[in-house]
A and B are shown apart, each in its own frame.
Chain A
Amino acid sequence: MAKLPTPQMLMASRPDFPKAAWLDTKPLFAPGSYCYPEKKDTMELLHMPNPHDWDPSAEDWNLPENWEKILCDAFEERLEKHRSLKLFMDICVRCGACADKCHFFLGTNDPKNMPVLRAELLRSLYRRDHAMLGKILGRKIGARKWDKEVVKELFYYAYQCTECRRCSLFCPYGIDTAEITAIVRELMHEVGLGIHWIMDPVKNCSFTGNHLGIQPHSFKEIVEMLADDCETVTGIRPKTPFNEKGHEILFITPSGDVFADPGIYTFMGYLLLFHELDLDYTFSTYASEGGNFGSFTSFNMAKKLNAKMYAEAKRLGVKWILGGECGHMWRVINQYMETYNGPTPDNMVVPTSPITGTVFKHAAATKMVHITEFTADLIRHGKLNLDPSRNDHIITTFHDSCNPARAMGLLDEPRYILKHVCNHFVEMPENTIREQTFCCGAGSGLNTEEIMELRMRSGMPRGNALRYVQQKFGVNHMACVCAIDRATLPPLADYWAPGVNVSGVHELVANALVMKGEGKRTMDLRQEDLPNVDAEEDQ
């Protein structure tokens, strides 16, 4: 990885707008500005159209011979399938309200990263074939024909958008760039263009059940190791039920939490919480992925990867599904799952908390509840014995993940929990949180190393906001409810606000959770010494 410039240099090095009109500029495929292409055999295995070897920095991308027809037809087909696309192509007035709402634009000052121009890249093609004036007046009114440079441009900017929907919140017509980016990525896949960092997890998830390709026995082994770690910290070894039939609840969380630091501590948090509640639940090694990189590929791939959840719920005969902390996973579950793969199997019922009796009516159709909804309800009913002073060395803030914030509205549940498990909670500035939250800069499958500088740029708004509360209020911790965040925010924090730790909400829950029969806690889940323990003993 190339050495990163300092934050000051990074801010100062944002170029001015080019002199040439946007129709005349081309993206420069410099190393670090694009993700590595997917492998041909991956695409073959997944039966994706037109798999081929190619290199984004090369002049020729080896597109199939009839690439233009494929793309025109595919675009036409999507216009017929999605009213949103037709509408978003037609009604933009280019008022510019979206321009500085995009973290990629703020970090790069590349005009084509303004959501309006990102959409114009496609809109210009739409005008030529689907708008009367464009047919007549052509380029004069911003219409253009397909050519290979246009394909490159679409690819470049479709992978400089994290589908975070912040622009859609500010758009007076609700034009959603996530929708446009998703469809452009679908179009690119029609001619065999995709990125390795997305397609490899898709392949893994298709054939092993999770993005990381962890096979069933290893999955079990890793979770049992985490349970051992729980025992080291608390003296209690939580149970780890797998693929067992006849339980009430199936628990699904992103596989990143099983595998990667610091997600594993969030996972340990789940284990301890469920153990303490004596929850009647099981994991599944088959549906061992909550996340869905298919949703960064195509609607059909998202459906395919998502299908395992209900299929496994049916096989295991569970009543409902509890879902872990994850961002895009919840976009899919909240807005697509029931449409893709519903109606739910007959054995499933409207979710009811076995501990408090609360009926989660708002999940009556999908029968899937977010873990922070579940836990907030437990706390509200006084079912958890919590000692927030164990987190007293932490001054935490909360990062709203894009998808739970703007595709779900999950804003206060995690805050409610945090305020009960931590004594020191500080919000970041108001235009950077809740529904106006900024992306970590690397969502929608862009959390890959080769574009680290780009990630630091797109993460600038989040990084700046974090640094603000760090400098002003001494914040040293950022909680989040997203597995991708847990992977992407630590480098972001190291860069923009060194010294801030990142964790999931349930790591902090388990740290504060006073369990029945536990040993004296001298360490947190990361096995770091709790600073206030000795002081208590002296008293």
Chain B
Amino acid sequence: MLESLIVVLLIGAIAWIGSAIGLTAVFGIVLPYVAVCVFVVGLVRRMIYWAKSPVPFAIPTTGGQEHSLDFIKQDKFDCPNTKWGVFVRMVLEVLLFRSLFRNTRAISFENDPVNNGPRVVYYSSKWLWFFALLFHYCFFLVFLRHFRFFMEPVPACISFVEAVDGVLQIGSPRFFLTGGILLVAILFLLARRIFDQRLRYISLINDYFPLWLLLGIVISGLYLRYFDKAEIAQVKIFIMGLTHFSPVISNLDLNGIFIVHLTLVSTLLIYFPFSKLVHMPGVFFSPTRNLPTNTREVRHINPWNPPSQFFTYPEYEDRYREAMAEAGLPLEKQPKPAE
């Protein structure tokens, strides 16, 4: 847990020192280019790696009533037998975290008055769902807002997102809700891992590292916007230079914390394809969710289906013919009459 925090701090410190000793070009230009390449190539490779293995069996998890008799109401989206139903199921899963929404927390009581003995009660527990949803949506909106730096003129939709995001009209520059909520959501996800005994037990450095990294990104970003009040115009010229493959640095006054922010984002991009963060494309591949539950209606083909070898009926009859004849069971071949 602390190790991964130290790693993140170290990355930040290196970037900061780097920018101070004149290595801005390395952290500001080379690293972002490398990071984007690694991210794209890495992610595509991972998806190809998955796709190369077949889906031999159709194994959807049925989360509701099947499609069977016409007087029994099917659960069309939790147990979808059509492509449309699967599409909706995936949309619910990806956009609303349907499965996580089911979450419960089991609490054991050793002496429950109703049970007159032990009892486990399952309480609805939507906190993880709520903060996970907040985290992902805010992250997405913050990401979207950053397109202000990538595009000229700034598209109307980005300005709209900014307008909504800053609806509270607090402070100058105006406070964006998403940034603040993102910080809170990350802190919640971190606190869960640290203070919940079960989660602490299962958590690896690979679980803390991305959270610390995101925390670093968000804090440095917030600092740049609200405290340091980085020179937006300069940053935009710099970023536009990157996106147009003609990077400019020499005549710009880029802030050290900005380089730290950029370096942490680059680190995230590089780390992404080699970590659990691949759950982003991965969820679309999940055979328990993305297959229709029509497995008795349509044959699913297994490309490596091995040849059929089994104890055949003729072998069976050969083994038991006399006994079967005696029991009066029908036979393909009658036993040889006793001599």
B-contacting residues of A (Cβ < 8 Å)? 7-8, 10-12, 17, 21-22, 79-87, 90-97, 99-101, 106, 111, 114, 116-117, 120, 131-133, 140-142, 165, 168-176, 179, 206-207, 209, 215-217, 220-221, 242-245, 285-286, 299-300, 303-305, 307-308, 311-312, 315, 333-336, 338-343, 358, 360-366, 368, 373, 376-377, 380, 405-413, 416, 429, 431-432, 434-436, 460-461, 464, 467-468, 471-472
B313 and A311 within 8 A (CB): yes
Which B residues are CB-close (under 8 A) to A111?
198, 201-202
CA distance A381 to B108 in the complex (A): 45
Kindly specify which of B10-18, B116-124, B239-247, B248-256 makes contact with the partner chain: B116-124
Total chain B interface residues with beta-carbon distance under 8 A: 106
B206 and A141 within 8 A (CB): yes
A340 and B313 within 8 A (CB): no
CA distance A410 to B108 in the complex (A): 29
Secondary structure dominating the interface of B: loop
Q: Does B143 count as interface, using CB distance less than 8 angstroms?
A: no
B278 and A91 within 8 A (CB): yes
Bitwise interface map of B from 259 to 280 toward A, beta carbon under 8 Å scored 1, else 0: 0000000000000001110110
7 nearest A-B residue pairs (beta carbon): A409-B66, A217-B327, A91-B282, A174-B288, A409-B62, A431-B122, A307-B310
CA distance A376 to B75 in the complex (A): 18
Which A residues are CB-close (under 8 A) to B288?
84, 168, 174-176
Q: Does B227 count as interface, using CB distance less than 8 angstroms?
A: no
CA distance A334 to B293 in the complex (A): 9
Q: Return 20 A-B CB contacts under 8 Å, by A number.
A: A81-B56, A87-B286, A96-B198, A111-B202, A172-B97, A174-B289, A206-B310, A207-B311, A220-B328, A286-B313, A303-B308, A311-B310, A338-B295, A339-B305, A340-B302, A360-B68, A365-B296, A380-B71, A406-B61, A412-B72
Residue of A nearest to B331 (CB): A243
A432 and B122 within 8 A (CB): yes
Residue of B nearest to A468 (CB): B115
CB-contact partner of B308 in A179, A307, A335, under 8 A = A307
A140 and B66 within 8 A (CB): no
A-contacting residues of B (Cβ < 8 Å)? 3, 46, 49-69, 71-73, 75, 78-79, 81, 93, 97, 99-100, 102-106, 108, 110-111, 114-120, 122, 128, 132, 192, 196-199, 201-207, 274-276, 278-279, 282-283, 285-289, 293-302, 304-306, 308-313, 316-317, 319-320, 323-324, 326-330
CA distance A87 to B283 in the complex (A): 9
A413 and B69 within 8 A (CB): yes
CB-contact partner of B53 in A80, A315, A408, under 8 A = A80
A216 and B329 within 8 A (CB): yes
A179 and B62 within 8 A (CB): no
Which B residues are CB-close (under 8 A) to A410?
66, 68
A176 and B308 within 8 A (CB): no
Q: A95-B128, A335-B57 are in contact. Are A467 and B106 (CB under 8 A)?
A: no
Which B residues are CB-close (under 8 A) to A434?
64
Which A residues are CB-close (under 8 A) to B323?
215-217
A83 and B122 within 8 A (CB): no
CA distance A364 to B297 in the complex (A): 5
CA distance A343 to B201 in the complex (A): 48
Which A residues are CB-close (under 8 A) to B302?
339-340
CB-contact partner of B66 in A85, A408, A431, under 8 A = A408
B330 and A242 within 8 A (CB): yes
A11 and B313 within 8 A (CB): no
Residue of A nearest to B109 (CB): A11
B57 and A339 within 8 A (CB): yes
CA distance A196 to B7 in the complex (A): 50
B25: min CB distance to chain A, Å: 27
CA distance A386 to B56 in the complex (A): 44
Which B residues are CB-close (under 8 A) to A341?
308
- Among A17, A173, A207, A377, the one with the most B-chain Cβ atoms within 10 Å of its Cβ is A173
CB-contact partner of B100 in A11, A97, A140, under 8 A = A97
CA distance A116 to B207 in the complex (A): 13
Residue of A nearest to B317 (CB): A286
CA distance A365 to B108 in the complex (A): 45
CA distance A93 to B112 in the complex (A): 35
Which A residues are CB-close (under 8 A) to B313?
286, 308, 311-312, 315
B206 and A409 within 8 A (CB): no
